[in-house]
Structure formats: structure tokens, C-alpha cells
Amino acid sequence: MRFTRAEYCVIACAEAWRGAGEVLASPMGLIPSLGARLARLTFAPDLLLTDGEALLVRPDGTPEGWLPYRQHLELVAGGRRHVMMGASQLDRYGNQNISCVGDWALPRRQLLGVRGAPLNTLNNPTSYWVPRHSRRVFVERVDMVCGVGYDRAAGLGGAARFHRLARVVTDLGVFDFATADHSMRLVSVHPGVSVERVREATGFPLAVPDDVPFTREPGAQEVRLIREVLDPAGARAREVPEGAGS
């Protein structure tokens, strides 16, 4: 059976919640949302999903609980949520920028703003989804720190007790920070992508093991759920077109 690049990305995002237990998943974007719902339906049955307002929902959107804003904030600030956000810029230690490009006092481009990124990254596990892996995103130094990376969290003591950057998923591969200095490491490449291609698209030196595996492929149940239950219209292919990043 042939799998698309988008389907490998869904699987890679789902794996971010493997073994998470009963935590609130906060996926931002289509591919992360498909990944979180797939994880709930397969290997992470205790995962909590939200409609983004005040309800806990099943993967099909059916309400299964109430999550008022106060309780949501308790989960966010107490390490019991795992958010997968986007990033306009990321550096080797996981500092994230979603606010502006250029000097913050007079930016060349204004983006979303800092929003909840500092709270997210310091108070609960965080992963990132980047649909277009390039040197514009993976930079030597972010123009403004919104999400806090390992180098900055190291000096915050107990204020960063829940800080953990789990993984970064892109259209080229999967990354983590499991190195001695918590710098970004290549974990796997998606089929059709070479290690050299990843290096070329990254604006800083990556930690690269001697043997880099391919991202695991979906199992029979997983591919059925992706194609027939979670995304029968195939919207995933619009976010990650076939051949993207090759």
C-alpha cells in the first residue's frame, strides 16, 4: 500500500502524544488535529480533546464533558496539557517566534503576536508543526522569542519545571531535543527525503545520528481511520501536497 507524505506527517504528529496519559491535547492546524484524534482512537485512549471552547469531545466531535475556562487554565498552567503549535521561526534550542520578522521595534513583517506561547512552553509540554521546512523557519537566531527554548528555560529554575519540548514535525521529517545540550536532533526523515535535503533546508547545524530511519508508516487500522473516518475529503493533501519538500 502506498502512503502519502501528508499521511506520514499525521502519523508523526500522533506519535507526539504516545504515552501521554490523561492530558489535554491542543493541536493547532489540520495535520496536528488529525494526529491527535488518531492517537485517541488508537494508542492513546485517555487523551482529552477539546472543541476549542468549553467542551471535551470525542474524535468525531461528540461532546463527552465540560471544560470551563478556569479548569482549562488549570490544565495549561499545571503541566497537564500538551500543545502542538506552529512556528514562523525556530532555532536549534527550540526558541519559537510567531510575532514578527525583523527588529521588533520596526518589523519587516507583523505576524500573530506573542499570544500564549510563553505560558504554553513554560507550563506544559510543547511540540511544533511546520508544514514547509525551510531556512526561513529554521534559523540560527529567532527575531523575537515567543515560545521558550531549552537554553532560556535553563535559567528560570522552578518557573520552568513543566518545560519540555517533545518534538518538531515538518514536511521533511521529525526532530527532537534529546542531545546533551538540548539542541535539535533529526529523529527520522519521511520516505523520499534525504538527510542532506533536511540539512540544506535548515539554517543551523543539526545533530544527526549515524543512522537516520524513515518515519514509520501507518498501520492498516490507522490508514483506514485517516482516509475513511477522520479525513475522507482528503483535506490533508492541501496542507502537505504530494511531493512537497522532495
What gap in Å lies between CA 37 and CA 179, rounded to an integer? 29
Determine contact, residues 30/5, Cβ cutoff 8 Å: no
Q: Region 187-202: what's the mean pLDDT?
A: 97
- Where does the pLDDT of residue 226 fall: very low under 50, low under 70, confident under 90, or very high at 90 and above? very high
- For residue 199 the three cell numbers come to 540539512
Instruction: List the one residue out of 197, 187, 93 whose CA is nearest residue 145.
Output: 93
What percentage of the chain has pLDDT greater than the value 70?
Answer: 98
Residue 157 has pLDDT above 70, yes or no: yes
> Residue 58 has what pLDDT?
93
Residue 176 has pLDDT above 80, yes or no: yes
What gap in Å lies between CA 95 and CA 102, rounded to an integer? 16
How many CB atoms sit inside 10 A of residue 221's CB?
Answer: 11
> Residue 117 has what pLDDT?
87
> Residue 246 has what pLDDT?
60
- Cell 522569542 locates to 145
Q: Region 198-216: what's the mean pLDDT?
A: 97
Chain segment 45-101, per-residue pLDDT in tens: 999 998 877 888 999 989 988 888 788 777 777 788 999 999 999 999 999 999 989
How many CB atoms sit inside 10 A of residue 161's CB?
Answer: 12
Cβ neighbors of 15 (< 8 A, separation 6 or more) are 35, 39, 167, 174, 216
Q: Map out the domains of the chain with their CATH numbers.
A: 5-237 (3.40.1080.10)
Q: Average the pLDDT over each of 23-27, 52-56, 219-223 and give the range with the smallest value.
A: 52-56
Please tell me whether residue 55 adopts helix, strand or coil conformation. strand
What gap in Å lies between CA 116 and CA 212, rounded to an integer? 34
How many CB atoms sit inside 10 A of residue 19's CB?
Answer: 7
DSSP letter for each residue of 103-122: -TTS-SEE-S-STTHHHHHH
- For residue 26 the three cell numbers come to 491542543
What gap in Å lies between CA 130 and CA 90, rounded to an integer? 10
Average pLDDT in the chain: 92
Q: Region 170-184: what's the mean pLDDT?
A: 97
Determine contact, residues 204/92, Cβ cutoff 8 Å: yes
Cβ neighbors of 242 (< 8 A, separation 6 or more) are 4, 5, 6
Instruction: List the one residue out of 202, 175, 121, 196 whose CA is nearest residue 9.
Output: 175
> Residue 45 has what pLDDT?
96
- Where does the pLDDT of residue 18 fall: very low under 50, low under 70, confident under 90, or very high at 90 and above? very high
Instruction: List the one residue out of 160, 8, 19, 12 whose CA is nearest residue 94.
Output: 160
Beta sheet of 173-176, edge-to-edge order: 24-27, 81-85, 126-130, 165-170, 173-176, 185-189
